[in-house]
Chains A and B, each alone.
Chain A
């Protein structure tokens, strides 16, 4: 792919083009190539906190629920009362190992817990138990796909390197009451297990980041380790955004927080990249700061913290957690020490064997089984419940999957998106759609009429396709006598076109067909019409 090339004419005879180079430059009088400043590109790294889907918290036996009366899901340990100690939840360890295996990480046989100290009202202990030195899993890859090309039909695979996955505690929730100048603290969320996924800055724009997060959401939901609902705070994404010229060292980064949907993520990152490019182009310097996304205005506003909290490691005074011995995870049953209780051992082999079907495998399977295109399978898996809908339709109709997929991914999904509905809220059920497709397949209605019937079915759920076809008299007109008379009428009223066809311009036949269809309100069988017209005009 050729980049934009700026070249200067000093002498027409010196005109040289540099195709294929990835740099842009100017030719000096003595034929030296001088670099002109290249385009600034964005560099995006993500830090994702995924709330582990478990019944109890990471280190205490209190319940994990989204909404509950304030401070009702808090144990003495969560409130950090003196004399309480952390007791690790086995389910959280298994969840972390499962996620690590699904993302091709190395699982550390031995991992350690640390304390990260900072003062804030929603952190009652004054420190958070995390795994900074030696986390549960390291060195993984997240493979995600982008739909590119003019019709978004090209599936491009990209990789993000995952630096580490660690277990850590969540903090409580603070509600700011500006009226009374106070903060209200709810500790229900304090102590809930989180998996922090640290990714390398391998992405360059909001779209890539959004695709990566979407893929991660699908993987976590398939594993069952996290419900991945961004709006409920089960999946929190912080983006570190900077800009630089390719080849040069990375620029100053800013942290973007408070994003609660995948769509906003793409928007916020792109906005931040543009903002930083604007600053640099005006000759300013980018400040290292934290910016929060305000969904109402769609802008990134500067956070109240003057510096990025995560910048200085010494700021947090990391120290080993003295109350927890190292966490040992066993490779397989053979490596278990003698006499160990089964419920005290986390065995990697067993977890690996129990991994469910991951989204990428599912997509390949759909392509294999049904012969559909990769981009269609991508759309199917991307939408919650759409695969099940598609398979249900296939069960009820004899039509080929390749013909059904268009209806599901274009018609159904298009209508759902327009009204912001989920698949489960669709007014047209799989059997109803299957019936409509059967009608089309058996020749009772034409394809254009089928689309009309679909829309009518959408607006009046409960009515079957057959009923609507009957009511609005949309059945295909296959009465040859009627068709003949209509075609004759059209042919008689357009002698010029008939003349053109007889002279060899076959494309004009389509115009005549269009006129016939208009007469019959689209109910004429196109194949039959074409045959009749061809007869009449030959």
Chain B
């Protein structure tokens, strides 16, 4: 993932394509510069897509938003405030793989999982006693209730085109869930596979 933030502008007055060439110092994650941005520019009928780095907005009409700090202000939480690092037993990994159908048994995968848990452990530092749990940032919005009138459907052809295998207007799937092989068998399978 590069450090480029892509902003798609749809303007009626049209931003002249010359803008792109002026922001030539674009940096990627490991510090290499990318100079041939022009190749990624293309124009559509009524919409101009421009790629502009968020830090330098030379021709933007709005000044820098005061609510956004210019430098990052958060500090990493010291290790002693966090609980013990979680140990993930092999059985749990197996169960998670079975439930989520995601293969993460490799060393990299487990490390990534441990880092993610450690990152989430920072939440323990916050004192939540006596506070109602929030389950959605939408909780103070009104849920829109729709009228009971038919407005959609009748697009069987379009939907069936999306599927590789169909049979007379039905989608085709393998018979039932193919059970995931046991841990030992899977390890043997992975060893001999191309991954």
Residues of A near any B CB (own CB < 8 A): 54-56, 60-63, 69-77, 79, 81, 87-91, 93, 112, 117, 119-121, 174-178, 181-187, 304, 315, 317, 320-322, 324-328, 340, 343-344, 346
* Inter-chain contact total with CB atoms closer than 8 Å: 138
Q: List, in ascending order, chain A residues with CB within 8 A of B135's CB.
A: 112, 320
What residue of chain B has the Cβ atom nearest to residue A315's Cβ? Answer: B99
In the assembled complex, B142 has its CB within 8 A of some CB on chain A = yes
In the assembled complex, B45 has its CB within 8 A of some CB on chain A = no
Are B145 and A90 in contact (CB-based, < 8 A)? yes
Q: List, in ascending order, chain B residues with CB within 8 A of A327's CB.
A: 143
In the assembled complex, B55 has its CB within 8 A of some CB on chain A = no
Measured CB to CB, the closest approach of chain B to A287, in angstroms, equals 18
Q: List, in ascending order, chain B residues with CB within 8 A of A175's CB.
A: 170
Q: Which of the candidate stretches B12-20, B81-89, B107-115, B172-180 sits at the interface with the other chain?
A: B172-180
Q: Which of the candidate stretches B118-126, B152-160, B187-195 sits at the interface with the other chain?
A: B152-160
Measured CB to CB, the closest approach of chain B to A262, in angstroms, equals 29
Main secondary structure of the interface of A (DSSP, over half): loop
Are A56 and B148 in contact (CB-based, < 8 A)? yes
Q: List, in ascending order, chain B residues with CB within 8 A of A93's CB.
A: 145
Known: A74-B155, A119-B101, A184-B170. A89 touches B145 (CB 8 A): yes
Q: With A and B bound together, what is the CA distance between A29 and B177 in angstroms? A: 61
Q: List, in ascending order, chain B residues with CB within 8 A of A62's CB.
A: 150, 152-153
* Segment 85-107 of B: residues with Cβ below 8 Å from A: 99-101
Q: List, in ascending order, chain B residues with CB within 8 A of A72's CB.
A: 153-154, 156
Are B170 and A74 in contact (CB-based, < 8 A)? no
Give me 15 other A-B pairs in contact (C-beta within 8 A), A73-B153, A184-B170, A187-B171 excluded.
A55-B149, A60-B152, A61-B151, A70-B168, A70-B169, A71-B160, A71-B170, A74-B155, A79-B162, A88-B143, A174-B173, A181-B175, A185-B172, A324-B143, A328-B142
Query: Quick one: which of B147, B151, B162, B171 has the most chain A CB within 10 A?
Result: B171
Are A325 and B153 in contact (CB-based, < 8 A)? no
Are A322 and B152 in contact (CB-based, < 8 A)? no
Measured CB to CB, the closest approach of chain B to A258, in angstroms, equals 15
Main secondary structure of the interface of B (DSSP, over half): loop
Are A326 and B139 in contact (CB-based, < 8 A)? yes
Are A55 and B154 in contact (CB-based, < 8 A)? no
Measured CB to CB, the closest approach of chain B to A460, in angstroms, equals 47
Q: List, in ascending order, chain A residues with CB within 8 A of B173's CB.
A: 121, 174, 182-185
Q: List 13 A-B contacts (CB under 8 A).
A: A54-B148, A56-B146, A61-B150, A69-B156, A176-B176, A183-B174, A184-B173, A187-B159, A317-B100, A325-B139, A327-B143, A340-B142, A343-B145
From the candidates B101, B146, B156, name the one contacting A61 in the complex (CB within 8 A): B146
Q: List, in ascending order, chain B residues with CB within 8 A of A75's CB.
A: 152-153, 155
What residue of chain A has the Cβ atom nearest to residue B160's Cβ? Answer: A71
- CB-defined interface of B123-138 with A at 8 Å, one 1/0 digit per residue? 0000000000001101
**Lowest 7 A-B CB distances belong to which pairs?**
A121-B173, A62-B153, A75-B152, A61-B151, A184-B170, A91-B148, A90-B145
Q: With A and B bound together, what is the CA distance between A340 and B144 in angstroms? A: 11
Q: With A and B bound together, what is the CA distance between A183 and B150 in angstroms? A: 29
Q: With A and B bound together, what is the CA distance between A79 and B140 in angstroms? A: 29
In the assembled complex, B71 has its CB within 8 A of some CB on chain A = no
What residue of chain A has the Cβ atom nearest to residue B100's Cβ? Answer: A317
Measured CB to CB, the closest approach of chain A to B89, in angstroms, equals 15
From the candidates B136, B143, B170, name the one contacting A320 in the complex (CB within 8 A): B136
Q: List, in ascending order, chain B residues with CB within 8 A of A321's CB.
A: 136
Are B170 and A90 in contact (CB-based, < 8 A)? no
Q: With A and B bound together, what is the CA distance between A321 and B135 in angstroms? A: 9
Measured CB to CB, the closest approach of chain B to A117, in angstroms, equals 8
Known: A176-B175, A185-B171. A88 touches B152 (CB 8 A): no
What residue of chain B has the Cβ atom nearest to residue A54's Cβ? Answer: B148
Q: With A and B bound together, what is the CA distance between A322 and B137 in angstroms? A: 8
From the candidates B100, B101, B146, B153, name the one contacting A87 in the complex (CB within 8 A): B146
Q: With A and B bound together, what is the CA distance between A87 and B147 in angstroms? A: 10
Q: List, in ascending order, chain B residues with CB within 8 A of A320's CB.
A: 135-136
Q: List, in ascending order, chain A residues with CB within 8 A of B176's CB.
A: 176, 183, 304
Are A184 and B174 in contact (CB-based, < 8 A)? no
